[in-house]
Amino acid sequence: MGKRQIGEMQPVEFVITLILAEVACLPMNDPNLPLHFGIVPIITLAFLDILISFIGRKSLMVRTIVDGRSLLVIDKNGIVYENLKKMNMSVDDVLMSARSGGYPDMSKIEYAIVEPNGKLSVIEKAKDPTEPTEAFRPMPLIIDGNIIKENLEKVGVASEQIVRAVQSKKLKVKDVLYMDVRQNGEVYVSPKRKPCYTDKIRITGGKNW
């Protein structure tokens, strides 16, 4: 599960951790149970966790089903009520998470995103009113070699543009580990085995992200 604390685990990983502890206790507490009664389930659960993680890296849909996805709870228009309902969160939950992160003043928050592990990521408003804050919230377009079509529609970018931006560096989409775009059209690309680079593409959306 990597070097993560319990609070950083995904829900499936947390459940597997609890089950592992319960299964390991059975043969340890009961001397009449053979040792393999605990070892076999532990190996099976560990294999399932590794298998789910492997499939999740290859399939964005599986990763979304298992881990969930990040949702915007505060944008330039204020608290996003529809997303709160999706996550069964209250306004008090958002306020508490914001205060815990050192943001007691909601007017200073430009964006707030609830991550799959439940943590609140906050993007603060620029101190200079003339400084554009939109560039501080990039929109992911490619993750682990998979194009996120939902985000392409949000920013108004065609998949052909993404392919051309990648091919300009003699790469394929499957060779890109991560790619995002900002509202000024600047993209950041991080290939799997080559240095990262930035480029410019034309976008037609971006008003609501």
Q: Look at the pTM and tell me if it is higher than 0.75.
A: no
Rg (C-alpha) for the chain, rounded Å, is 21
> Across all residues in the chain, what is the average pLDDT?
82
Which of 30-39, 91-100, 192-201 bottoms out in mean pLDDT, i.e. has the lowest?
Answer: 30-39
* Residue reference for tokens 């003699």: 170
Q: Look at residue 135 in the predicted model and tell me its pLDDT.
A: 44
Q: What are phi and psi of 103, to 5 degrees?
A: -125, 75
pLDDT for 37? 83
User: In this structure, what token pair is assigned to residue 133?
Assistant: 């804050």
Give the H/E segment covering residue 82. helix 81-86
Contacts of 52 by beta carbon, 8 Å cutoff, 6+ apart: 12, 62, 66
Rounded Cα distance, 81 and 42, in Å: 42
Per residue in 164-187, pLDDT (tens digit) is 889 888 899 999 999 998 888 888
- Structure confidence at residue 190 (pLDDT): 93
Convert the pLDDT of each residue in 114-162 to its tens digit.
988 788 888 887 766 555 554 456 888 998 888 888 888 888 888 888 8
User: Which CATH superfamily is 69-124 part of?
Assistant: bsu07140 like domains (3.30.240.20)
Q: Which phi and psi (to 5°) does residue 162 adopt?
A: -65, -45
The single residue listed with the structure tokens 């059975």 is: 26
**How far apart, in whole angstroms, are the C-alpha atoms of residue 110 and residue 180?**
19
User: 138-200, superfamily in CATH?
Assistant: bsu07140 like domains (3.30.240.20)
